Amino acid sequence: MSGLRACLELARLSNAPTCVTNVLVGAALVTTATNESGSVPGLPWVRVALVSIAIVALYVAGMVLNDLLDLEVDRAERPGRPLPSGRVSIAVAWMIVIACSAIALGVLVLLGIPAVVAGVALLATIVGYDAVHKRLAASVVLMGLCRSLVYVVAAVACTWPIDDLAVRTRLIAFAATMGAYIIGLSVVARLEAAPDGAPKKWPALVLPAIVGVPLIVFEPNRPALFVIGYVVTTLWLVAAARHAMARPPRVPAAVMAWLAGICLVDATFLVHLGYWPVALIAVACFGLTRWGHRYILGS
């Protein structure tokens, strides 16, 4: 059991529900056309489930690869991590990376060539980020691009070709927004190694503002529910920012709260798109992520 727990910690599996909610939004973005009754159509749940498996597998591969490439740094700064502490062997870690990458691409093959191409692009971005993030501060852009590409992978796996210009525009806008959110979160996360640094007040305003951009530009399907969802999400993001604004900053707590907040952001997007019942799944994923963080740190 201790070995299994170490592997789960290595993979940061507590954050996996955030990948699932990203997939839900990606699928919803390309299936939001209303029918004659004015209701939105259901999601292609089999494809959503398969994409979720692939994305979670890629997430695990990326997290484990990150620790493999950062092993020497972690030996000095985080000796308690699974790899430097010896709780997971390097050989096992490489096996996880290879197996999860193969599973992800194998599943995407079942969903068509566009899904495979998008998945390969996502895998390449993950590898690129893991390879340079300790040396290049601008690599946070690659981290944001990884989350943006999750939307794209889910979208093309569920609908191809995407002929409607409005749908393509909306997909790009929402994917870019999630990417920008992750970039902001990642900038704060880089302070984790120096928790006694200066407090950061900007996330309390910037992150909710980033999330709100596409919600204002595009007309919501259910305005009243959307306003409620956005207010709740904003309150959570601002409450999480208090950790970053403390003296000294409690960066790990802020980062994990914002990571769980990905689910709430996705829930707000889903409500905006008219998929309020699906948004309840995203809210449940938020609760699952917060529960998971009690046992497996997400950062």
CA dihedral of residues 85, 86, 90, 91 (deg, nearest 10) = -160
Contact 122, 149 (CB under 8 A): yes
Q: Residues 6 or more apart from 7 whose CB is under 8 A from it?
A: 82, 88, 92, 96
pLDDT band with cut points at 50, 70 and 90 for residue 201: low
**What are the CB-based long-range contacts (under 8 Å, 24+) for 168-176?**
170/29, 170/32, 170/214, 170/218, 171/26, 171/29, 171/30, 173/213, 173/214, 173/217, 173/218, 174/25, 174/29, 174/214, 174/269, 175/26, 175/148, 175/149, 175/151, 176/148
- Percent helix, strand, coil in the chain, to 5, is 75, 0, 25
The CA distance from 187 to 221, in Å, is 33
Q: Give me the pLDDT at residue 202, please.
A: 72
* Higher-confidence position of 201 and 108: 108
Say what the pTM is: 0.93
* Higher-confidence position of 104 and 221: 104
pLDDT in tens, 27-57: 999 987 544 444 567 899 999 999 999 999 9
The CA distance from 188 to 298, in Å, is 14
pLDDT in tens, 52-83: 999 999 999 999 999 999 999 999 888 999 99
pLDDT band with cut points at 50, 70 and 90 for residue 174: very high
Q: Give me the pLDDT at residue 187, please.
A: 84
Q: Give me the pLDDT at residue 11, please.
A: 95
The CA distance from 185 to 258, in Å, is 7
Token pair for 141:
């852009």
Q: Give me the pLDDT at residue 287, please.
A: 97
Structural domains of the chain in order of their starting residue, each with its CATH number: 2-293 (1.10.357.140)
Question: CA 12: distance to chain centroid?
Answer: 12
Contact 140, 190 (CB under 8 A): yes
Q: In percent, how much of the chain has pLDDT > 90?
A: 70
Checking if the pLDDT of 241 tops 80, the result is yes
Contact 178, 233 (CB under 8 A): no
Average pLDDT, the chain: 90
* Higher-confidence position of 150 and 78: 150
Contact 103, 54 (CB under 8 A): yes
Q: Give me the pLDDT at residue 215, please.
A: 87
pLDDT in tens, 86-98: 999 999 999 999 9
pLDDT, mean of residues 150-176: 95
The CA distance from 268 to 29, in Å, is 13
